[in-house]
Chains A and B, each alone.
Chain A
């Protein structure tokens, strides 16, 4: 009898040794004459359990993890391939692991379940049902469906996706484009990568539907070059989609046409900003464009262009399959549907947590995350990437909702949550924010290009205890100038982490002042 097991194959699982583990499992099975069929799934993104081996049984999939090479012999001794066996790494049914069970996985329902490049797996789990529905609809009802779902851009700005699509649909042009922003540069985020590595057909399907909705026949996925595995997976998945008449001319026997290509970025964070991304796709320096005109009207090569984040497009097949209402039933207020949060940094149970909007940051970090990895007290958390504010404990009870965060001067962004223990020096983090802006500013506007360099210098003076009060007030001024005067979010939001660090962790800035300007003993 053949026993079927799954070994994850996403970047993190591989980085933790999943490929070598797969080879050893196969070799050991061969030696011990166990008939094992080893499949490679994506990942469930329960990262503290990776590599997480799953065994298929009639009752469901049983998990074992985190599996190290040294565990292989004992796993075979326990006949792990039977699933429900006693072993120190046995996790029971994977679907019953509370971290997973308590999530609302809509976008990530298939992640870690299917073989990412198996079209049959994808279709067996509701894949391409959305596209079939979409092919039977006219453009306007399609856009209406997205509007009714309440879907807002998941890249960070949270602009209503349906409105953006409407603008492109209404713009008359011979050629329109759908561009997927897969330049997931925010530290602490990996949800886009997971979509592309674990369920690439979902993104392809979402983009195809977007093309039908707005009348675009060409799509580009602009992917960051730091994601080599996602590049390979997308490349292969697109080829499979073409072979199966899911891309190209006459999609599924209809008269619809949509072409899709992956383009690699080249290590510029700013190219995650949509106009910079378009410049880059056109083969230029990624300089930010002034808006208006909006990309929806004058976008790629001057044509009307939908620019959506991976997660926005990935939500589309579900909406077209199950209906707008099914999606809008999740969430709160104006934040409808689910957001995949990513627990990262110093966290005990890191990974992907897809939840309807509404729970608090504290629930996310402690109930799911289990606090810090090293057990030290949690001091600060940065939500929403390098341009997001650092939140102290007094702000951990804010509900995870776009408006609630905005009210506190924070951003949910792409849902990245990076946790820091009490050993972090927040003035050093503030310095890094400015330093990052120096490295990544496109250079077009002065507040961002020069302001960030001056910011590093002023923070260095503060950190060396030089005229701390004066320099703190200078830094505040500089932050305001950058926020008000920058052309895009790079310079306009770089001050957010700096200002929040100054406001909530002032001691980290002023502690050195005593050593040079005061004569008092510390």
Chain B
């Protein structure tokens, strides 16, 4: 599996996804997930296409996108690194890890490193609460992440290796 996970914006691909989902009951969330899964974010152009297909206004679609933390309207870096900041991880030093991650990457939450490699995001609980602090990169979750392990994780991402299971 070496194909890139995301593709660049293409209205034809988006339209195919929309057609697949639009007649499901409560289609909007699964549809937005599918768009973001394909393009890594939900481009402005997609909002209009979705609104037309679902017979809703662009404002309604935008309202839903902006309500949910998971959906993004700007292209992220090559990797999204999510640091858990919930209580169980706090009890094991997550606050230190958060501060370290920000200073080491030189970004705040919701920002992307200058080399466009990493977007840093907060996350509230990954369900790995006995072995924190926890970090998620793509669909992989990492346990016991201290500052040293965070360095190793980031180093691995720098080599631009695609995550292969």
Residues of chain A whose beta carbon lies under 8 Å from any beta carbon of chain B? 11-12, 14-16, 19, 47-48, 50, 184-190, 193, 225-229, 263-269, 280-286, 301, 342-347, 350-351, 373, 382, 386, 416, 418-421, 424, 429, 432, 436, 439-440, 442
Contact = CB atoms under 8 A, between A and B. Distances in A.
B89 A343 contact: no
B67 A186 contact: no
Nearest to B63: A285
Interface of B: 25-30, 32-33, 54, 63-64, 67-71, 86-92, 123-132, 134, 136, 139-144, 165
Nearest to A227: B127
A193 B87 contact: no
A192 B28 CA distance: 25
A135 to B, nearest CB: 26
11 contacts: A12-B128, A12-B131, A15-B128, A187-B88, A189-B129, A190-B129, A225-B70, A268-B70, A344-B88, A345-B90, A439-B69
A285 B144 CA distance: 34
B131 A15 contact: yes
Given A19-B165, A266-B33, A286-B67, 8 more contacts: A190-B128, A264-B29, A268-B69, A345-B88, A345-B132, A350-B130, A418-B87, A418-B88
A15 B134 contact: yes
Contacts of A11: 126-128, 141
Given A284-B64, A347-B130, A226 B87 contact: no
A439 B122 CA distance: 11
Contacts of B132: 344-345
A16 B130 contact: no
B87 A432 contact: yes
B136 A226 contact: yes
A472 B54 CA distance: 50
Contact of B68 (A268, A419, A432, A439): A268
Contact of A188 (B26, B64, B129, B139): B129
Contacts of B64: 283-285
A133 B68 CA distance: 41
A228 B33 CA distance: 13
B141 A420 contact: no
A57 to B, nearest CB: 28
A386 B129 CA distance: 13
B70 A344 contact: no
Contacts of A418: 87-88, 91, 129
Contacts of B165: 19
Given A15-B142, A226-B126, A264-B30, A47 B131 contact: yes
A432 B91 contact: no
A29 B6 CA distance: 37
Contacts of A265: 29, 68, 70
A386 B85 CA distance: 12
Contacts of A284: 28, 64
Given A12-B130, A344-B129, A283 B91 contact: no
Given A282-B26, A436-B124, A345 B69 contact: no
A424 B28 CA distance: 42
B88 A184 contact: no
A419 B89 CA distance: 10
Nearest to B27: A283
A193 B134 CA distance: 15
A265 B91 CA distance: 26
Contacts of B69: 266-268, 439
Nearest to A268: B68
Contacts of B70: 225, 265-268
A110 B130 CA distance: 20
Contacts of A420: 90-91
B125 A186 contact: yes
Contacts of A350: 129-131
Contact of A266 (B25, B32, B92, B128): B32
B129 to A, nearest CB: 3
Contacts of A15: 128, 131, 134, 140-143
A424 B87 CA distance: 11
A185 B124 contact: yes
A344 B143 CA distance: 13
Nearest to B32: A266
Contacts of B143: 12, 15-16
Nearest to B121: A267
A520 B96 CA distance: 32
B87 A440 contact: no
B108 to A, nearest CB: 15
Contacts of A186: 125
Contact of A187 (B68, B71, B124): B124
B62 to A, nearest CB: 10
A283 B26 contact: yes
